[in-house]
Chain A
Amino acid sequence: MAAGAAAGSLEELASRPGRDTLWSALARRCLIGLSLAFLTALLLAPLAVVFAAAFHDGLQKYLQSFADRDTQAAIRLTLATALVVVPVNTVFGLAAAWAIAKFEFRGKSLLITLIDLPIAVSPVISGMLFVLLFGMRGWFGAWLAANGISIIFAIPGIMIATLFVTFPYVARELIPLMQQLGNDEEEVAITLGAGAWMTFFRVTLPKIRWGLLYGVILCNARAMGEFGAVSVISGHIRGLTNTMPLAIEALYNDYDLTGAFAVASLLTLLAVATLVLKSLVEGAGYRRR
C-alpha cells in the first residue's frame, strides 16, 4: 500500500547524516522488536496453529475430514454463495461508481455514507435485519409462508445476508479511483461517436481494471468468510444451510478439532491467497486511496 513512498523516505533517511547515535539505534531495535513480537503473537502464531492442529493426527486424518458429507456440502454452499454474491455486487459497484464519480447531484455524500453503512454495522445486526424482514413474525413472513417460499433458515437468506455485508467493497474501491481519473477520455469517446457501452468497455474498464480486481478480491474474501450475519440467518442445518465458517463452529463444538481446523485451513489458505493477490495488484501499480 505505502511501499513505494516508504522506500523513498528510507533512502532519504539513509542519506541523512548525524542520526545514527547509540540512542536512536537502540530505539530502532526496540521498536522493531516490539512490532515483530506483537504481530507474531497475534497474527503468525494463530496462523501456524491452524495448520498444526489440522495435521495434529496425521495427513490421513486430515484428508479424511474432507470425506465428510456435511463438510463437502458446506464447501459447496460457500462456493455457490460467492459465485452469486460477488458478480451481483460487482455490477452494483460499477453502477454506483459510475453514477457517483461521473455526475454531480444532490444527496451524493448521503449516498456514499449509505453505501459504506454495512461496514460499520455489526455482522449480527446485519443478519438480524433480514430475520426481522423475512422471519415468521417479520414483515413478509406470513406472505412468504403462505406462498411456500423459505428465505430464513434456507439458502436464499444466506445469500441475501452475504450480499448485505459485502455490498460496499467494490463500490468503495472504485468511487475514489474513478473520481481521480476524471471524465475527459470518456467525453472524448462519446463526442467522437462511440456508444455508451463501447465507451465503458473500451475506455473506462481498462483504466479501472486493477482497482476493480482489488475490490472483487476483498469482496470475495468477505463473502466466503462471513460468519456473524450468516450464523443468525442460517438456522445451522447441517448438510443444508451450513457454510464453511459455520461448519467450523459445528465441528469445533463437537470437539472434532481435526475436522474444524481442517476446514479452517482451507479458509486460511484463501486468506493467504487473498493477501498475495492483493500485493500483486498493488505491485502492478494500483495504490489504494
Chain B
Amino acid sequence: MRDGQPTVLPGFGLTLGFTTFFLSGVVLLPLAALVLRAASTPLHQLLDAVASPRALASYQLSFGGALIAACINLVFGFIIAWTLVRYDFPGRKIMDAVIDMPFALPTAVSGIALTAVFSIHGWLGRYLDLAGIHIAYTRLGVILAMVLIGMPFAVRTMQPALLEVQRDLEDAAETLGAGRWHVLRRVIVPSVLPALLTGFTLAFARALGEYGSVIFISGNLPMKTEITPLLIVIHLEEFDYQGAAALGFVMLAASFAVLLTINLLQAWGRGRMVRRER
C-alpha cells in the first residue's frame, strides 16, 4: 500500500486505518444508503418525484437563484476583494474580518435577521417598500439570502489572486498608453480568471444547498418561493423517504458536478502559475 521513498515515521497503519474506518462510517455508508434508496425506487415513481411540477418549480428557484446570486457575488466579490487588496482606508482591517461573518454566524440567525431588516417594517425594507421593491417573502429575498451566504467564498478566493497580479504588467500597459478600463479588461481580469471562476462556483455551490437562512425570508409558498432543500424536508416530514431520496439524489449529483468543476478550475489555475514561473 505504501509506496514512494521509505520513511522511518511510525503510525501509517494506525492513522490511515482510523481515517478510512471513520470516513466509511460517517460519510460513505450514509451516502450509499441514499444512492441505493434512490436506485431501488421503481422508475415511474422516481420520475414522478423528480419531475413533478412542484419539484421542477423548486429547481428553477434553487438553481436559477443560486446562479443569479453567484453572478452578484462575482461582481461584488471582485469589487470588495479589490478594495481590500488595493486601497488603504480607515476600517479596512475590520472590513476584512467582517467578511467571514456568514461563515461564523449560524444560518438560522442570519435568516431571521435578514427578514427583520428587509421586511416592509424593517430598517431597509421600509425604504425599498416606498420604491415598490419587496424583498421579504419573495424570490428576491431567496436570492438575497443566497448572496449573503456565498459572499465570503467569492471574496476569499479572489483576494489572494488579486494580491499576486503582476503590477509591472499593469504599469507597462499604462506606459504604453492603455487606459485603466483597458488594463482591467486585458491585464487584470485574464490573470485572475481561474480565481474568479472558482469563487463563482463556490458561491453557487453554497447557495444551491443553503437551507437555514433562506427558509425564513422566502415565505415558502409552493411553486413560488419553495427551494429544493425545503421540498426534501417536506417529503421527509410526510415520511415519503423515496421522494426525498430521489430529490436528494438530484442535488447530490449537482454537488458532485460542482466539486469536479472546482477541482478542474484549480488545476487550471495551478498549471498557469507553473507556466508563468518558468
Whether the pair B15, A98 counts as a contact (CB closer than 8 A) is: yes
Chain B at the A interface: mostly helix, strand, loop or mixed?
helix
Closest to B210 in A: A122
Told that A123-B212, A190-B10 touch, could you supply 19 new A-B pairs with CB distance under 8 A? A3-B93, A23-B180, A32-B83, A34-B79, A35-B79, A41-B117, A42-B144, A47-B101, A92-B19, A92-B22, A99-B12, A103-B2, A122-B209, A124-B232, A132-B37, A167-B26, A225-B109, A231-B233, A232-B236
CA distance A103 to B15 in the complex (A): 10
CB-defined contacts of A121 to chain B, threshold 8 Å: 209, 252, 255
Whether the pair B101, A271 counts as a contact (CB closer than 8 A) is: yes
Check if A111 is an interface residue, CB within 8 A of chain B. Answer: yes
Closest to B29 in A: A133
| Chain A CB within 10 A, most for which of B7, B16, B79 | B16
Whether the pair B4, A35 counts as a contact (CB closer than 8 A) is: no
CB-defined contacts of A261 to chain B, threshold 8 Å: 112, 116
**Contact bitstring B94-128, A, C-beta under 8 A = 1, else 0:** 01111111111111111011101100001110000
CB-defined contacts of A44 to chain B, threshold 8 Å: 98
Whether the pair A248, B123 counts as a contact (CB closer than 8 A) is: no
Whether the pair B110, A9 counts as a contact (CB closer than 8 A) is: no
Whether the pair B212, A120 counts as a contact (CB closer than 8 A) is: no
Whether the pair B108, A249 counts as a contact (CB closer than 8 A) is: yes
Whether the pair B109, A245 counts as a contact (CB closer than 8 A) is: yes
**Contact bitstring A36-62, B, C-beta under 8 A = 1, else 0:** 101101111111011001000000000
Measured CB to CB, the residues of A under 8 A from B are 1-3, 5-6, 9-10, 12-14, 16, 23-24, 27-28, 31-32, 34-36, 38-39, 41-47, 49-50, 53, 92, 95-96, 98-100, 102-106, 111, 113-118, 120-125, 128-133, 135-139, 160, 163-164, 167, 183, 186-187, 190-191, 196, 199-200, 218, 221, 224-228, 231-232, 244-246, 248-249, 252, 260-261, 264, 267-268, 270-272, 274-275, 278-279
Q: Which of A6, A104, A129 contacts B3 (CB 8 A)?
A: A104
List 24 A–B pairs whose Cβ atoms lie within 8 Å, in order of A's numbering.
Answer: A31-B87, A36-B91, A42-B144, A45-B123, A46-B114, A50-B116, A98-B11, A99-B11, A105-B2, A114-B27, A117-B27, A122-B229, A124-B232, A138-B33, A167-B26, A183-B7, A221-B103, A228-B212, A231-B212, A245-B106, A245-B107, A252-B112, A264-B108, A278-B97
CB-defined contacts of B156 to chain A, threshold 8 Å: 1
Measured CB to CB, the residues of B under 8 A from A are 1-5, 7-12, 14-16, 18-20, 22-23, 26-31, 33-34, 37, 76, 79-80, 82-89, 91, 93, 95-110, 112-114, 116-117, 122-124, 144, 147-148, 151, 156, 159-160, 163, 167, 171, 180, 205, 208-212, 216, 229-230, 232-233, 236, 239, 241, 244-245, 248, 251-252, 255-256, 258-259, 263
Whether the pair B123, A49 counts as a contact (CB closer than 8 A) is: yes
Chain B nearest CB, measured from A43 CB (Å): 5
Known: A95-B18, A120-B259. A163 touches B180 (CB 8 A): no
Chain B nearest CB, measured from A153 CB (Å): 11
Whether the pair A125, B109 counts as a contact (CB closer than 8 A) is: no
Number of A-B contacts (CB under 8 A): 295
Q: Which of A50, A105, A136, A167 contacts B1 (CB 8 A)?
A: A105
CB-defined contacts of A53 to chain B, threshold 8 Å: 116
Whether the pair A3, B96 counts as a contact (CB closer than 8 A) is: yes
The 10 tightest CB contacts between A and B, nearest first, are: A225-B106, A122-B209, A129-B30, A46-B113, A104-B4, A227-B212, A228-B211, A99-B15, A271-B104, A124-B229
Whether the pair A125, B7 counts as a contact (CB closer than 8 A) is: no
Whether the pair A31, B82 counts as a contact (CB closer than 8 A) is: yes
Q: Which of B88, B107, B216 contacts A10 (CB 8 A)?
A: B88
Closest to B242 in A: A137
Whether the pair B30, A36 counts as a contact (CB closer than 8 A) is: no
Known: A38-B80, A124-B209, A271-B101. A232 touches B233 (CB 8 A): yes
CB-defined contacts of A124 to chain B, threshold 8 Å: 209, 211, 229-230, 232-233, 248
CB-defined contacts of B34 to chain A, threshold 8 Å: 125, 128-129, 132
Whether the pair A164, B109 counts as a contact (CB closer than 8 A) is: no
Known: A46-B114, A131-B241, A245-B106. A164 touches B2 (CB 8 A): no
CA distance A44 to B106 in the complex (A): 15
CA distance A89 to B117 in the complex (A): 36
Closest to B205 in A: A120
Chain A nearest CB, measured from B95 CB (Å): 6
CA distance A242 to B208 in the complex (A): 25
Closest to A34 in B: B79
Chain B nearest CB, measured from A94 CB (Å): 8
Whether the pair A275, B104 counts as a contact (CB closer than 8 A) is: yes
CB-defined contacts of B233 to chain A, threshold 8 Å: 124, 231-232
CB-defined contacts of B144 to chain A, threshold 8 Å: 42
Chain B nearest CB, measured from A36 CB (Å): 7
Known: A124-B233, A128-B248. A163 touches B124 (CB 8 A): no
